[in-house]
Copies of this chain bind each other. A is one copy, B any other.
Amino acid sequence: MTVTLADVAARARVSPATVSRVLNGNYPVAASTRERVLRAVDDLDYVLNGPASSLAAATSDLVGILVNDIADPFFGIMAGAAQTEIGGPGDGSGRAGGEKLAVVCNTGGSPERELTYLTLLQRQRAAAVVLTGGAVEDPAHQAAVSAKLAKLADAGTRVVLCGRPPLPDGEAVVAALAFDNRGGGRRLTEHLLSLGHRRIGYVAGPLERTTTRHRLEGHREAMRAAGLVGDEERLTVHGPYDRRSGYDATLELLRREPEVTAVVAANDTVALGASAAIRDRGLRIPEDISVAGFDDLPFSVDAVPALTTVRLPLFEAGARAGRLAMGKETPPPGGIATIAAELMVRGSTAPPRV
């Protein structure tokens, strides 16, 4: 029923070994022989059996890209960029030559699913794994992930971190590309302080996430440097990285402290929800309250008013992670690179009313 290497060999009147060599292009094969084999492949519509090939060769062409939320462009942009580098441009023949199969796996932010996917990829003997976005900070989970990654690396899988802080013992990892969330958060709040804001609310991301913590730390660093201490807890509300959470948390913030003059959101999506809440309360942006986000997703510049935020080079980072996973680029010194975050001042922030 299904055509195998042997069928192709028979038709081309060579040995299976020769067909294999032609297909993999690793060994010298006479041009005329190769010709015959390729014709037989086309005639028979032969498709390599991936599992058999992976079993024999003890490697596979699968590359996994783990994301926390596939519906969030933050991850989509990184994953898409990585996939482009990994999948290659395609040869247009649709015949699928030496390409890797770059696939993205959606953990939904769940530690269990993250581990499950890693196991599944380990089971498939994946050629590489790219972990994107912030990590969950639960020590047990971190240890489990580290152990799993070590085992993957051990089995020859290349592990790359993208937008995620390095592992405690980074040995298992080819490279870690970390965003400067702390620095970005600090500069964003410094910007607000320099405009004259003092009562600044913070809509933070979920607890126990590195991204959440680092951005918040940057914010508090700036606040502390300005002598603003003591109100941290009251002026911070945590919630998921989504629009709805931004809306609800901002309402809560305004209830706790009606006098806030600025709201900093964990990311742009949350900022959108925050803005909606502020408007629904009859307040204007930025005249009554300034709003700022983080990430500079494509829609942020189109918000009204345009959103002040911190730009992360998501596409570039994803592409680089993809190249590192493919071994097409040499890792940074020490395997760790910090990726700069750039403050983007736009219309949603202005001096507070006096």
Which of A94, A110, A275 has the most chain B CB within a 10 Å cutoff? A94
Contact B90 A113 (CB under 8 A): yes
Contact B103 A50 (CB under 8 A): no
Q: How many copies does the complex hold?
A: 2
Instruction: Tell me, in angstroms, the Cα distance from A299 to B268 when the chains sit together.
Output: 11
Contact A80 B70 (CB under 8 A): yes
Contacting residue for A302 out of B69, B91, B116, B273, CB 8 A? B273
Contact A96 B116 (CB under 8 A): yes
Number of contacting residues on A, CB 8 A?
A: 72
| Binary contact readout A103-131 vs B (1 if CB under 8 angstroms, 0 otherwise) | 11110101011011101111111000000
Contact B104 A51 (CB under 8 A): no
> Which residues of chain B come closer than 8 Å to A176, judged between CB atoms?
none
Which residue of chain B has its CB nearest to the CB of A93? B112
Would you call A17 an interface residue if the criterion is a C-beta within 8 Å of the partner chain's C-beta atoms? no
Interface residues of A in 75-114 (CB under 8 A from B): 76-77, 79-80, 83-84, 87, 90-96, 99, 101-106, 108, 110, 112-113
Contact B123 A48 (CB under 8 A): yes
Would you call A60 an interface residue if the criterion is a C-beta within 8 Å of the partner chain's C-beta atoms? yes
Which residue of chain B has its CB nearest to the CB of A120? B101
Query: 30 pairs across A/B with beta carbons < 8 Å?
Result: A47-B122, A47-B123, A49-B125, A50-B60, A51-B51, A51-B53, A51-B60, A51-B124, A55-B55, A69-B76, A69-B80, A70-B80, A70-B83, A72-B73, A72-B76, A76-B76, A84-B106, A84-B108, A87-B113, A90-B113, A91-B112, A94-B144, A101-B121, A242-B298, A243-B299, A243-B302, A272-B299, A276-B301, A276-B302, A279-B304
